[in-house]
Amino acid sequence: MQNLSFKKVTQKILNKIIEENKQFLIPSNNSNIKYLFKINDLLISIYNTNTLLIQGKKALEFSLKYNLKDHKINKVVNKFITLPNIGCDEVGVGDFFGPLITCCAYVERDFEIKYPTLLAEITDSKKITDINIYNLFEKIKDKVIWEIYILENKKYNQAFDIYKNTHILKAICHNQALKRLFRNNNNLKEIPIIMDQFASEKNYYNYLIDQEIIIKDIHFETKAESKYLSVACASIIARYHFLESIKDLEKEYNVKLPLGASNNVKEYVNKYKAEMKDKVTSFTKMHFNSKK
């Protein structure tokens, strides 16, 4: 599905679109939309600001019909693909310290129109400094619907002893987050789900074979956080909670927990394994190789 947005469309072109498609005019609950048209699988929104949003498989064909190729496409909108959807991502997989956290985030259709400045700031959390993660979380936390699932270190280590596969743990945690989302938001069950791919679709569902409830019909795509706004939001929300978890663990156990898996981090791991044998499993992923 295509999602094209054009800013400052001339009134002449807008009038032509309105006149030629008036039989397809439908009501809109969004006060920012002046005209809303449903033409087969196409949805055309004309905003009060003379922004034109075209959504559907034949969006490009429609835009060419009205000679919109000469208008500037809003590149910020086209940074991401087709809203609304639910994005899924995880953090903590490559860190010795801290839990595994998965997040799913629903982003509404009009997000890019309502929050264009914020949209320009959102990207994959791995490309954002920790300070900006905190700032962005505060900005988006009330603008999207989200759920997280935290697999704390002690339970993580117990689960890994059973499954011996981090992909299985990720799949289980993603499934848990999605179950929470739909349990609390039954109206979202028909919304498309996109997951940043870490395993094939077949393997993902095989990993969940012993789960009582399995959320299905997920679209898997590599580097989804750079293509889907919802996945980028999920990565930011998950990263925020991971950083908070690290802070809480440092305070609770009076330790320093650097991020990642570098040799410097391994020095801390080996120190804690030697000096805090009774507590180290509560903040460390024990299956990681700490040999330098």
* Domains, the chain: 2-74 (3.30.310.10), 85-281 (3.30.420.10)
Q: Which residues pair with 102 in a beta bridge?
A: 90, 149
Tokens of 35: 């005209």
The listed range with the strongest mean pLDDT (20-29, 67-76, 119-128, 242-251) is 242-251
Q: Which of 70-79, 136-145, 205-214, 216-225 has the lowest mean pLDDT?
A: 70-79
- Look at residue 76 in the predicted model and tell me its pLDDT: 37
90 known member of a binding site = yes
Q: Which of 3-7, 149-153, 191-195 has the lowest mean pLDDT?
A: 3-7
276 CB contacts (<8 Å, ≥6 apart)?
Answer: 253, 255
Q: Name the residue with tokens 């500037």.
A: 72
Looking at per-residue pLDDT, the higher value among 232 and 291 belongs to: 232
- Look at residue 180 in the predicted model and tell me its pLDDT: 97
| Contact present, 113 and 84 (Cβ < 8 Å) | no
- Look at residue 35 in the predicted model and tell me its pLDDT: 94
Q: Which residues of 23-49 are buried (b: 16+ CB within 10 A; e: fewer)?
A: eeeeeeeeeebebbbeeeebbbbbbee
CA distances 233 to 43, 124, 222, 252, 253, Å, are 24, 8, 16, 29, 30
Q: Which residues of 3-18 are buried (b: 16+ CB within 10 A; e: fewer)?
A: bbbbbebeeebbeebb
pLDDT at 102 over 90: yes
| Contact present, 101 and 91 (Cβ < 8 Å) | yes
Percent of the residues in the chain that have a pLDDT greater than 70, as a whole number = 95
**Three-state secondary structure call for residue 147:** strand
Neighbours of 124 (CB within 10 A): 18
Neighbours of 290 (CB within 10 A): 18
Mean pLDDT of 26-49: 89
- Look at residue 141 in the predicted model and tell me its pLDDT: 96
Mean pLDDT of 239-243: 98
CA distances 126 to 161, 228, 234, Å, are 28, 15, 12
pLDDT category of residue 140 using cuts at 50, 70 and 90: very high
The listed range with the strongest mean pLDDT (29-33, 39-43, 129-133) is 129-133
pLDDT at 49 over 80: yes
62 CB contacts (<8 Å, ≥6 apart)?
Answer: 39, 42, 44, 54, 56
pLDDT category of residue 69 using cuts at 50, 70 and 90: low
Separation CA 145–CA 149 (nearest Å): 14
Tokens of 171: 């799949």
- Look at residue 82 in the predicted model and tell me its pLDDT: 67
- Residue 101 — φ and ψ, nearest 5°? -125, 125
Separation CA 221–CA 90 (nearest Å): 14
- Look at residue 162 in the predicted model and tell me its pLDDT: 96
User: pLDDT, tens digit, for every residue of 166-219?
Assistant: 999 999 999 999 999 999 999 999 888 999 999 999 999 999 999 999 999 898
pLDDT at 124 over 90: no
95 known member of a binding site = no
275 known member of a binding site = no
Q: Which conformational region is residue 69 in: left (phi greater than 0), alpha (psi within -120 to 50 degrees), or beta?
A: alpha
pLDDT at 74 over 80: no
Q: Whole-number mean pLDDT of the chain?
A: 90
Mean pLDDT of 240-265: 97
